[in-house]
Chains A and B, each alone.
Chain A
Amino acid sequence: MSLLTIENLRIAFPARGGSTEVVRGVNLEVQQGETVGLVGESGSGKSLSCRSIIRLMPSHAQMTANVQFDGRDVMAMSRKALRDHRAHSVGMIFQDPFSCFNPTKRIGEQVAETLRVNAGMDKSDAHVRAIELLASVEIDRPEQRYRAFPHELSGGMRQRVMIAIAISAGPRLLIADEPTTALDVTTQAQILKLIEQRRRDLNMAVLLVSHDFGVIAQACQRVAVMYGGYVVEAGPVAEICARPQHPYTRALLESIPSLESAGHHIRRAGIPGQPPSAGEMGAGCPFAGRCAFARPECAGVDMSLEVVGDAHATACPFVRNVSATSEAGGA
C-alpha cells in the first residue's frame, strides 16, 4: 500500500462572481521511502498541492480531495488528530528558512521547543536531543551553534536547522517545498545530499517541490509535471527526461539552460507567451495557447492521465513522443 494517496484534489479561491479553481483534479501517489518530485512553473499549483497533505491552506481556500496517509483519511481528521499528523507523520521545509524562525530566539532553543511540545520531552532531554539533531544535519560545533540566533547563520546553515526541526519526530514523509531555490549551487548540492542521507537513514519518503528540472533530475526517482493546476505528465524521471510525452514537458526540458551551450550561440526556441493566470483558465488543456501541436480538439481534452509506458502517463491524447531507436528495436 502506498504511503500517501491524493485523489482528485481540487483547490479553489472565492473570486468575483463565483470561484477560481487553481488546482483542478490532481492525483498523486508516494510510496514508502521513495523520493517524488513535483515540478512546475510559478502558479502551476505545485505548492498548494503539497500543502494539502497537511491541510495547510489559506483560510478562504476551498479544498476537496481524498487524501489517504498511511491508511488514514486526512480530510476527516479532527483538529487534534490533524495536529498530531502534522507533528509526527509529516515534516515540512520551505524555501525561505529565515521567515520560519523566531528571530529573537536562539536556534537551539527553537529545535528544543519543537521536541518539548511534540515529543513531550523535558527541558534537559530536549537540550541534549537538539544538539544531537544539529549534529545529524552536519552542523559543526553544534553546542556553540545551539546558542546562535537565526541571523548569525548562513542560508544553507538555516536550511539545515530547518531540516533538523522537520525530521525531529522521525516523520514518514518530508515535504521539501523549493528547499534550495534561495541557495548557491554548491550549498544546494550539499542540502540535496543531506536530504538524501536523512531519507535513507530514517526510511522516510520525500516529496520534493521545485521549478528546477535539474534539481528534480538529480534527487528524484519519479516526477509529476504540473501546469495550470493539472498534472500533465507523470513517470520515472529518467524516462520523462529521455522521452517527454506531453508537449509542455518537452518544451520545458528544451528551455532549460545548459552548460553545454557554452561557446555555441544557438538560441533556444523557448515557449512563446506566458502561463495562464488563475482567472483566465477555461476548459480543456491549459497549455493549448502556447503549444506547437495545438489543434481545435484541445479545448475538449479532459486532462486525465493516459498510461503510455511503464508507470509513465500523459494528459495529452494527441502527441506521442517516440524514440526512433526504441521504435526500431521494438519493430
Chain B
Amino acid sequence: MSETLLSVQDLTKRFRLRRSLGEFVTRQPGDSALAVDHVSFDLAKGEILGLAGGSGSGKTTLARMLIRLVEPDEGVITVDGRSVRDARGHELREIRRRMQMVFQDPYASLNPRMTVGTAILEAGRVHHQPGSEDGDAFVSKFLDLVRLPASMAVRHPSELSGGQRQRVAVARALAIGPEVLIADEAVSALDVSIQTQLLNLFLDLRDELGLAILFVAHQLSVIAEVADRVAIMHLGVIVEIGTTAEVFHNPQDEYTKSLLASHPQPVPLDASREIRIVE
C-alpha cells in the first residue's frame, strides 16, 4: 500500500444524554451514549475506503470528527503526520482545505441565491487557490472536472437536477484543492441511473487527481462498486475492516454476515442474453 495520508487512532465520541430531574438535582453527571468507540483506521493516498453500517452506527459522527465538525473526546487524527485535533486558526483552516466533505443533500449544502459559478469561485478565492484570480477559467476547469458544461456556471441550484446539483457540490469541494474527500451518503438520494454516473465520477477523480476518498454509505452494494477497502461499523465500533473483496466474499464478523444477508439480492441476469433488432 502506498503512503498513508490520513491516520485515525482510538477516536472516541460520547454524546451526553439529557439528565433526568433527579440527576440534575443531585448533580450527578448523567448518562452518555458512546457514538464512536475507539475507532482506528488509515487512508492512503489515492485510496477509496468505504464506511458502511446501519443507521445509528456512528459512521456520520466519525466522518464529521475527521474535519472537526464534531469535536472528538479522545484519540488521534493525523493528516500527513500533522495532528488535526491540535490544529488552531490558520492550521485548522489548512487542514479543512485538505479534507473536504460532500453531503447527501446538495439542496441543503448549496446556497440557493448563488449561481453555480459564484459558489465554485468563492470557495476557491476564500482558500486562495491558484487560478482563482481568473474567474471564468477557474470555474470552467472545475465544471469540466465533474463533467458539466461550462454553460452551467450561470445557473442557480434550483434549475439543476439532483445529479447535477451533486456534481456542483463535488466541484465546489474540489475547487478548494483537497487531498481527501469525505463523501457522506453522497449518492444515496439519487436514482440508480444517476448514481452510476456519480460513482464513475468518484473513480475518475481518484485516478486523475490521486484523491483519497472516505466513502460513507449504508448501501453495501454501492460500496462494492467503488471502494478498495471497506470498514463495517456497528454500535460505534469498526467490527470488520479489509479489502472489499475479502469482507464481502468472506465475511468473518457476525454483524457483517447479517448485513450482507439482508441486502436485497442482486438481480439475476441471464448471461447468455443477446439483443436483436427487429427490422
Is A268 a contact partner of B200 (Cβ separation < 8 A)? yes
Contact of A262 among B195, B218, B245 (CB under 8 A): B245
Report whether B274 and A260 are in contact in the complex, using a CB–CB cutoff of 8 Å.
Answer: no
- Evaluate contact between A271 and B55: CB separation under 8 angstroms: no
Rounded to whole angstroms, the CA-CA distance of A264 and B246 in the bound complex is: 12
Please judge, given known A-B contacts A185-B218, A213-B267, whether A261 and B224 are in contact too, CB under 8 Å: yes
Residues of B within 8 A of A (CB): 54-55, 161-164, 191-197, 199-200, 203, 218-222, 224-225, 230, 243-249, 258-260, 262-270, 272-278
User: Given the interface contacts A42-B191, A319-B277, A320-B276, does A256 sit within 8 Å of B203 by beta carbon?
Assistant: no
Q: Would you call A257 and B259 a contact (CB within 8 A)?
A: no
Smallest CB gap from A266: residue in B: B225
Contact check, B264 vs A217: say whether CB atoms are below 8 A apart. Answer: yes
Does A321 lie within 8 Å of B274, measured CB to CB? Answer: yes
Q: Nearest A residue to B194 by beta-carbon distance?
A: A274
Contact B276 A257 (CB under 8 A): no
A241 touching B219, Cβ below 8 Å: no
- Spot the interface stretch: A27-35, A103-111, A247-255: A247-255
A114 to B54, CA, bound (A): 32
Which 8 pairs between the two chains have the least Cβ-Cβ distance?
Answer: A263-B245, A214-B264, A270-B196, A189-B262, A271-B193, A262-B248, A258-B266, A41-B191
Q: Is A322 an interface residue (CB 8 A)?
A: yes
* Contacting pair A185 B192 (CB below 8 A): no
Which A residues fall within an 8 A CB radius of B?
Answer: 41-42, 155, 184-189, 211-215, 217-218, 238, 241-243, 250-263, 265, 267-272, 274-275, 277, 293, 317-325, 327
Tell me the minimal C-beta distance from B107 to chain A in angstroms.
Answer: 13
B residues in contact with A256, CB < 8 Å: 192, 221, 266-267
B150 to chain A, nearest CB (A): 18
The answer to whether B262 and A41 have CB atoms under 8 Å apart is no
Report the separation of the CA atoms of residues A253 and B276 in the bound assembly, to the nearest whole angstrom: 18
Checking A184, A212, A257 against B225 with a beta-carbon cut-off of 8 angstroms, the contacting residue is A257
Known A-B contacts A185-B264, A319-B278, A321-B275; the reply to A257 vs B195 at CB < 8 A is yes
| Cβ contact of B269, chosen from A42, A253, A324, cutoff 8 A | A253
- Are B273 and A323 neighbours in the complex by a CB distance under 8 Å? yes
Contacts of A189 in B (CB 8 A): 262, 264
A188 to B259, CA, bound (A): 11
Docked Cα-Cα span, A255 to B269, in Å, equals 12
In the bound complex, residues from chain B placing their C-beta under 8 Å from that of A260 are 224, 266
From residue B19, how far is it (CB to closest CB) to chain A in Å?
A: 18
Q: Which residue of B lies closest to A248 (CB)?
A: B193
Cα distance A327–B275 in the bound complex, in angstroms: 12
Nearest Cβ distance between residue B216 and chain A, in whole angstroms?
A: 14
B266 touches A318 (CB 8 A): no
Point out the residues of chain A lying under 8 angstroms from B193, CB to CB: 41, 251-252, 255, 270-271, 274-275
- Complex alpha-carbon distance, A212 and B245, angstroms: 24
B224 to A: closest C-beta gap in Å: 4
**Contact call A267/B221, Cβ cutoff below 8 A:** no
Given contacts A255-B196, A263-B244, contact A321 B262 (CB under 8 A): no
Chain B proximity of A295: nearest CB distance (Å): 9
Chain B residues positioned under 8 Å from A269 (CB to CB): 196
- The answer to whether A322 and B267 have CB atoms under 8 Å apart is no
Q: B272 near A323 (CB under 8 angstroms)?
A: yes
- Assess whether B218 is in contact with A184, with CB atoms less than 8 Å apart: yes
A253 touches B267 (CB 8 A): yes
Contact call B277/A186, Cβ cutoff below 8 A: no
Q: Contact between A259 and B221 (Cβ–Cβ < 8 Å)?
A: yes
Other-chain residue from A42, A186, A214, A270 in contact with B197 (beta carbon distance below 8 A): A270
> Do the beta carbons of B220 and A214 come within 8 Å of each other?
no
Task: Give 27 A-B contacts (CB < 8 Å), ordered by A residue.
Answer: A42-B191, A185-B264, A211-B191, A211-B192, A213-B267, A214-B266, A242-B270, A243-B270, A243-B273, A250-B275, A253-B267, A261-B221, A261-B225, A262-B244, A262-B247, A262-B248, A268-B196, A271-B193, A275-B191, A293-B275, A318-B277, A320-B277, A321-B274, A321-B275, A322-B276, A324-B274, A327-B274
CB nearest to B258 among chain A residues: A186
Q: A265-B203, A268-B196, A270-B200 are in contact. Are A259 and B263 (CB under 8 A)?
A: yes
Most chain A beta carbons < 10 A, residue from B162, B192, B258, B259: B192
Q: Closest CB-CB distance, B223 to chain A, in whole Å?
A: 8
Min CB–CB distance A264 → chain B (angstroms): 8
Asked if A186 meets B222 with Cβ closer than 8 Å, knowing A242-B270, A255-B196, the reply is no
B104 to chain A, nearest CB (A): 12
B68 CB, nearest partner CB in chain A, Å? 28
Contact residues in A for B55 (Cβ distance below 8 Å):
155, 184
Please give, as numbers and ranges, the residues of chain B lying within 8 Å of A270 by CB-CB distance.
193, 196-197, 200
What is the distance, in angstroms, from B43's C-beta to the closest C-beta of chain A?
Answer: 18
Contact assessment for B278 and A317 in the assembled complex, using a CB-CB cutoff below 8 Å:
yes
Residue of A nearest to B197 (CB): A270
Contacts of B263 in A (CB 8 A): 185, 214, 259
Q: Identify which of A243, A252, A262 contacts B224 (C-beta below 8 A).
A: A262
CA distance A241 to B266 in the complex (A): 10
Whether the pair B244, A257 counts as a contact (CB closer than 8 A) is no
Would you call B264 and A215 a contact (CB within 8 A)?
Answer: yes
Q: Across the interface, which residues of A come within 8 angstroms of B196, CB to CB?
A: 255, 257, 268-271
Contacts of A186 in B (CB 8 A): 54, 258-259, 262
Contact across chains for A258 and B276 when beta carbons are under 8 A apart: no
| Chain A residues in 8 Å Cβ range of B164 | 274
A182 to B, closest residue via Cβ: B55
What B residues does A272 contact at CB under 8 A? Answer: 197
Task: Give A258 to B248 CA distance when docked, in angstroms.
Answer: 11
